[in-house]
Amino acid sequence: MGKRGPSSLFSALPKELADTLKSSIKSSGPSNAEPGPSAQSNTLQIASSSATTLQVSDPYEGYLASDRVAQNDEGPPNKKQKRSQKEKQKERRSSVRGKYDASDLVTRYTNEAHVPEHLKKYFAQRYRYFSLYDQGCLLDEEGWYSVTPEALAQQIAERCRCDTILDAFCGVGGNAIAFAQTCERVIAMDISPIRLALARHNAAIYGVEDRIEFILGDYVSFAKSLMTPEEDGSNSQPRRKIDVVFLSPPWGGPSYLTSQGTNDSTHASLPGTGSEPEESHPSYNLAALLPIPGAELFTLTRRITPNIAFFLPKNVDLKEISELVQSSGSTTPESEPDPATEMIEIEEEWMGSKLKALTCYFGGLVEGQSDIYPW
């Protein structure tokens, strides 16, 4: 594949914003990812819409479970240790079949011949979604195309390390499981009782179900219920302490790349990262997110905490992202900086040679702003 010319990197952006980005880039070198199961990210740091500074950092190194195990492993396990591991796995499977077993809720596929044609490409990646798939992990149809690949979920969880995190749209539990390995407490919410049951089932397989509080409900209503309005009703504070909120709302199904939620501008890779998407798509509008437009969802969440990780389509309109902070206002004006100078960090999430999504970090999750937004 040939390298893209510098001008094509900015084709997704309005001319004024593109000129600003071009003049501010610090090149971090190309990222020549090879196909494979590992995750890789490129990070772009931008200011909110009225600021003019930008910084491109080196590709973010993935924090994979296998890496953490390797660092703590003193050598290959002996026969006794292997037996012990197998016994623990057997006990875990037994636990799942008991208290949290959700096997009767969905069909679990083990043979490609039994998989519906439209799900076969997702089934082929089942071990990317859950490395312990063979131990009984379950997904419903929406889960197959919406779950975050495990390596990416672990990478995001490392960035979001905190005491209490809220996974607002937990689905079948991919991100919640990863958060339970880096955070003290995880609140996992979904409006679907089936997906919530599948999330608990999958969490039990990974042995982290006791670190996650599963809540059946609508996030928008839940977020509003957390607020205690002050007399003027304009600057509410949350009733319970939540350090970070992870937003991964429905994008509109597998057709989001070409749906009506896109506009005519063309999306390209983040400027200065050297990454090359396999193809271009119309830009995705935040208004197409469900259950409410993305800007409204962000503003509501910002009243809970400034520390937000927003998992979005790879072709999202970057200009809309840069405007989120300006439109959301401030929850703690005495401690927050002027929105015009607040930075946003955008991370490309790659699996091998394919760009999967963007994660946008706000508040103290942005490098250099943790002292401004402590938790």
How high is the pLDDT of residue 349? 94
Q: How far is the CA of 327 from the CAs of 75, 294, 339, 343, in angstroms?
A: 53, 11, 9, 14
Contacts of 128 (CB under 8 A, 6+ apart): 37, 149, 150, 151, 351
Exposed e or buried b per residue across 107-120, where buried means at least 16 C-beta atoms within 10 angstroms of its C-beta: eebeeeeebeeeee
Assess contact for 284 and 315: CB atoms under 8 A: yes
pLDDT mean over 268-278: 50
Peptide bond preceding 291 in cis form (omega within 30 of 0): yes
Assess contact for 20 and 271: CB atoms under 8 A: no
Q: What is the pLDDT of residues 118-173, one digit of tens each?
A: 999 999 999 999 999 999 999 999 999 999 999 999 999 999 999 999 999 999 99
Length of the chain: 375
Assess contact for 345 and 44: CB atoms under 8 A: yes
How high is the pLDDT of residue 66? 35
Assess contact for 348 and 42: CB atoms under 8 A: yes
Higher pLDDT, 241 or 55: 241
For the question of whether the overall pTM of this predicted structure is more than 0.75, the answer is no
pLDDT mean over 263-291: 66
Assess contact for 207 and 93: CB atoms under 8 A: no
How high is the pLDDT of residue 56? 32
**Percent of the chain at pLDDT exceeding 70:** 62
pLDDT at 84 over 60: yes
Mean pLDDT of the chain: 77
